[in-house]
Amino acid sequence: MTSTSRGLGNRSLTAARQQAAETRLMQGAPEVLLDELLPSPENGRDVREETADPRAWEKVLKLAEAIRTDGVNTALTVVTAAKYVEHYPQHQEHVRAQGLPYVVIHGHRRLAAARVAGLTKVPVLLKQDVVQIRIAAIQENLLREGLDPIAEGQQYQLAMAESGLSQRALAKRLGNVSQTTISHRLALLQTVPEVQEKVLDEFYEPKSGITVAFAAKHLARVLPFFQRMFVEGAIAQAEVVALSTTLTEAQEKAKDGTITLAFVYEHLSHLRDEFQAMFLRGEITAEDVIEIGKVPAKDQQRPAPGRVIAGQSPADAADTSVPAPRPEAQAPAGQDEVIAGQSLPGAAEVPEPGSDTASLLPGTGPRARPRRTATAAR
């Protein structure tokens, strides 16, 4: 009688372990060993980074204390390694090199805390459908653990890329997040690391950094050069707001000193985009910009050809030169920042267009810009 081989055949040991582990879970085993769980490379909360960040790691330690007393009350969501690699082939080499049967989809903080608490097993929930796992992970993080704003934005970005959903559709799918929130978190990803670090400061310790709203609405819309200047205290909040309403080309000219930051703040930022573009093309003069900006944006019109400004000679009226930069517009003027909790400047605080316009021209004295003395933008 010929015996039948009961070996692995062409299957690898890792594949056999994965299959056995999946079978065991499907039969209702409530817990698995921590040593069988691999953190997802796609995780929006990298526990290794939290270890390096005392503020984030403190949350893991507090959770570990609770786990020592009450255990892990909420199961970690996992998929088999084979299913994970099928959906995320870019991580195939890493996952297979680890040789673990399960990949954690969400519950990474609980996993880290369980290790700190000295547990050897944790309850898990095995998922079969990987396609919707990203959205499910975001929902759990928002409801239970709370991602920081940067990690949250990264997860929204990945979810939209994987699912093809728009911001509005993703917000509807998540249910407890507005489209504005998603838009702001995504905008944070357009800011420089220095700004993102200040946003995290504010997240962990309110009134110590830069708010999500200010970073998303204004800093994300200006060049990295000016983002860093703001963090360093070289430009004020009001100047960032003004820059964020101007065209990128105008910002580039302010960066290289072709036009002054004061001119952008006091005049160019008051114009509609079409008039800003006309100025950049040389179709209207700096004096035209000042005159146009004296009326609300909805009422702005192009000056009539040949118009002469009061006190200006006809020869000067034909001048289309751009105001030369002031020395202090080309170098940081100080290390002051914006007071935490301060509102943006109101209409009464913005200089009247045309006031002290001589300071925008070559050879004249500088005009004082708004300054603050604390460390956060609200």
Quote the CA–CA distance of 150 and 19 in Å, as a whole number. 37
The residues facing 79 across adjacent strands are 103
pLDDT score for 133: 65
Structural tokens at position 236: 């004020």
Say if 22 falls within a structural domain. Answer: yes
pLDDT score for 6: 41
Say if 125 falls within a structural domain. Answer: yes
Quote the CA–CA distance of 311 and 291 in Å, as a whole number. 13
Say if 214 falls within a structural domain. Answer: no
Pairing of strands 31-33, 121-126: antiparallel
Say if 143 falls within a structural domain. Answer: no
- Share the mean pLDDT of the chain: 76
pLDDT score for 353: 37
Quote the CA–CA distance of 139 and 125 in Å, as a whole number. 16
Rounded mean pLDDT for each run of 10 residues along the chain, 378 residues in total? 43 54 49 92 62 74 86 87 88 91 87 92 83 67 72 89 90 86 96 95 90 97 97 96 97 96 96 96 94 93 64 43 41 35 36 38 36 40
Say if 34 falls within a structural domain. Answer: yes
Say if 31 falls within a structural domain. Answer: yes
pLDDT digits (tens, 9 = 90+) for 106-157: 788 889 999 999 999 999 988 876 656 677 667 666 655 567 899 889 889 9
Q: What percent of the chain has pLDDT over 90?
A: 43
Distances (CA, A) of 99 to 23, 42, 80, 354: 17, 17, 11, 70
pLDDT digits (tens, 9 = 90+) for 80-98: 999 888 888 889 999 999 9
The number of domains in the chain is 2
pLDDT digits (tens, 9 = 90+) for 308-332: 444 444 444 444 444 444 333 333 3
Q: Could you tell me the residue range of the domain that residue 309 belongs to? A: 235-360
- For residue 104, the domain's CATH number is 3.90.1530.30
Say if 144 falls within a structural domain. Answer: no
Phi, psi of 24 (to 5 degrees): -65, -40
pLDDT score for 281: 95
